Amino acid sequence: MSMFRAVNLLRSHTAMARSSMRSTPSVAMQKRFLSIHEYLSVNLLNKFGIDTPKSLPASTPEEAYEAAKSFGGKPVVIKAQVLAGGRGKGHFDNGLQGGVHLINTPEEARDLASKMIGAHLITKQTGAAGRLCNKVMIAEARTPAHEYYVAVLNDRVSQLPVLIASNQGGTSIEEVAKENPDAIITTPIDFKNGLGQDKALEIAKKLGFSGAEQEKAAADIFVKLYKLFEAKDATQVEINPLAETKDGAVLCMDAKLGFDDNADFRQEDVFQLRDVTQEDPAEVDAAKYGLNFIKLDGNIGCLVNGAGLAMATLDVLTFNGGKPANFLDVGGSATAAAVKKAFEIVLSSQEIRSIFVNIFGGIMRCDVIAEGIVQATKELNLSVPLVVRLQGTKEAEAKEILRNSGLKILAFDGLDEAASKAVEVAK
């Protein structure tokens, strides 16, 4: 694999890259992943025999105090539990700097927990709104002598899982990937046979641990990380830092695990760890109604049936100089009530300046959609212009319903003219 590819692979898998990709619908649509919190990830690592510092979660300042106390007065780290990387260098919306603090007393744990819990942590991966911190993790402090980076990911190009490792781990790994790609070692892994002990040891030697014992420990971790990746249908197992401590231990001091949503049926124990408070509320709400919704950052609300047509719709809007506010596939079996719900969700975004309904009636009947549109428009007091294109099954009936509704609906037959109208009225 070329360095260029390795770098791009690493970059494309960081949450930062993923969040900036959200404005590109075709990428945002490819896959939804489950992420789980660090305090839960460490349990999973431990189950696979991978060492981490000892830790306890806490939901209140008092629990944080007790947790810190249980480490016998030794220094601990307090870590905000939000589903985003870059916590160490982040800041809270109440002014507190840093989502990771090294502290010496249980009182400090209580004090910091009281500031972190209930606040939003903003990091370079969260966007300006940040993520709500509901819990903190109290971990025994260890002193890293050196910080490494290791991750297992799927590589689209080789169509294999790969282990990515660097001896320049820590909070600036993205910069390392950009400026010093030679510092990243990428190793393809045979899907069936896993990562061999010899190969793993070879990687560890290249990274340069302090001695044979540490090389062996690191290699052992690499092998087990892949085992976890495979057994749990993970899409991302990222450890940063993998630390060699002053006392010669090799430990995973942070963990970011992602899982393939398509595997939820056979990974129930993992998927029950989902924390919806970390997800976009509109997206969570939509999923409950069987609507496939992804928020984007434009101002034209979209309501479409079929993922392919939905993507084409976003493209045509973009092509006409508009910016879609969302991807929304209402599916093939939506009821009028679900359509109304879809409108509500689209309208929950403050930025909406027009709504574009683009339905190709097949299994989904146009008249059902039209009824949903009329209901929603009346009940929700719709004030933004509504551009509608309905074609296919029960099209004539649908048009009749819209005409008789007395509502001001801009109806079109052609996709291009409808899209350009939706763009025009949004301006």
Please give the Cα distance from 366 to 397 (Å, whole number): 8
Q: Of the candidates 9, 36, 78, 100, which one interacts with ligand GDP according to CB under 6 A?
A: 100
**Shortest distance (Å) from residue 87 CB to ligand GDP:** 3
Q: Of the candidates 62, 102, 118, 378, which one interacts with ligand GDP according to CB under 6 A?
A: 102
Contact partner at residue 113 from ligand GDP, Mn ion, none, CB < 5 to 8 Å by partner kind: none
171 scored as a contact of ligand GDP (CB under 6 A): yes
Among the listed residues 288, 414, 305, the one whose alpha carbon sits nearest the alpha carbon of residue 370: 305
Contact partner at residue 253 from ligand GDP, Mn ion, none, CB < 5 to 8 Å by partner kind: ligand GDP
120 scored as a contact of ligand GDP (CB under 6 A): no
66 catalytic per annotation: no
Of the candidate spans 82-90, 193-201, 258-266, 360-368, the one that interacts with ligand GDP by CB under 6 A turns out to be 82-90
Q: Of the candidates 240, 292, 313, 420, which one interacts with Mn ion according to CB under 5 A?
A: 240
Residue whose C-beta lies closest to Mn ion: 254
Q: Is the peptide bond before 188 cis (omega within 30 degrees of 0)?
A: no
Q: Of the candidates 12, 20, 59, 143, which one interacts with ligand GDP according to CB under 6 A?
A: 143
131 scored as a contact of ligand GDP (CB under 6 A): no
35 scored as a contact of Mn ion (CB under 5 A): no
**Shortest distance (Å) from residue 276 CB to ligand GDP:** 21
Contact partner at residue 87 from Mn ion, ligand GDP, none, CB < 5 to 8 Å by partner kind: ligand GDP
Residue type, position 39, single letter: Y
Q: Of the candidates 77, 189, 304, 325, which one interacts with ligand GDP according to CB under 6 A?
A: 77
The active-site residue out of 39, 149, 226, 289 is 149
Whichever of 88 and 290 has its CB closer to ligand GDP, that residue is: 88
Contact partner at residue 141 from ligand GDP, Mn ion, none, CB < 5 to 8 Å by partner kind: ligand GDP
**Shortest distance (Å) from residue 99 CB to ligand GDP:** 6
254 scored as a contact of ligand GDP (CB under 6 A): yes
149 catalytic per annotation: yes
- Let me know: does 331 contact 360? Beta carbons within 8 Å: no
147 scored as a contact of Mn ion (CB under 5 A): no
- Reduce the secondary structure of the chain to three states and give it as a string: CCHHHHHHHHHHHCHHHHHHHHHCHHHHHHCCEEEECHHHHHHHHHHCCCCCCCEEEECCHHHHHHHHHCCCCCCEEEEEECCCCCCCCCEECCCCECCEEEECCHHHHHHHHHHHCCCEEECCCCCCCCEECCEEEEEECCCEEEEEEEEEEEECCCCEEEEEEECCCCCCHHHHHHHCHHHEEEEECECCCECCHHHHHHHHHHHCCCCHHHHHHHHHHHHHHHHHHHHCCEEEEEEEEEEEECCCCEEECCCEEEEEHHHHHHCHHHHCCCCHHHCCHHHHHHHHCCCEEEECCCCEEEEECCHHHHHHHHHHHHHCCCCECEEEECCCCCCHHHHHHHHHHHHCCCCCCEEEEEEEECCCCHHHHHHHHHHHHHHCCCCCCEEEEEEECCHHHHHHHHHHCCCCEEEECCHHHHHHHHHHHHC
10 contacts: CB under 8 Å, gap ≥ 6:
151, 164, 173, 177, 184
Q: Of the candidates 13, 79, 199, 389, which one interacts with ligand GDP according to CB under 6 A?
A: 79
Number of chain positions touching ligand GDP (CB under 6 A): 20
215 scored as a contact of ligand GDP (CB under 6 A): no
The active-site residue out of 215, 238, 371, 395 is 238
Q: Of the candidates 108, 155, 238, 254, which one interacts with Mn ion according to CB under 5 A?
A: 254
Whichever of 41 and 420 has its CB closer to Mn ion, that residue is: 41
40 scored as a contact of ligand GDP (CB under 6 A): no
What does the binding site for Mn ion look like in residue numbers (CB under 5 A)?
240, 254
Q: Which residues are catalytic?
A: 149, 238
What does the binding site for ligand GDP look like in residue numbers (CB under 6 A)?
53, 77, 79, 85-88, 100, 102, 141-144, 147, 170-171, 240-241, 253-254
